[in-house]
Amino acid sequence: AQYVQRFWKVLSEMFNEEQKKLFLKFVWGRNTLPSRDEYFTENFSINLLMRDECEADKMLPRSHTCSFVLHLPSYSTVEVMYERLNYAITHCSSIDTDG
């Protein structure tokens, strides 16, 4: 799906290391990855946040930290996705299971 491709482009090419840590905290409640594969308790998944297509660019992504799930609207461009994800990760810092 195009929204998933845009997400991976934002994460791999546009986010810096600090933003990646904030993203992990947003979707998982942690800012570091486990040191070993077997310590992963949940598989990461991305789901489409369904709303009126016309309104998607105005929406923010949502997450469920206990199940490591990201709900993304189908943003119109990679730039809009970057802006909305960056806003969400920098303004949501209430959960921290690392500390």
Catalytic residues: 66
Instruction: Determine the Cα–Cα distance for residues 81 and 99; give it in Å rounded to an integer.
Output: 29
Instruction: Determine the Cα–Cα distance for residues 11 and 28; give it in Å rounded to an integer.
Output: 15
Structure-derived torsion over alpha carbons of residues 98, 86, 7, 79, reported in degrees to the nearest 10: -170
Q: Are 61 and 49 in contact (CB under 8 A)?
A: yes
Instruction: Determine the Cα–Cα distance for residues 21 and 33; give it in Å rounded to an integer.
Output: 9
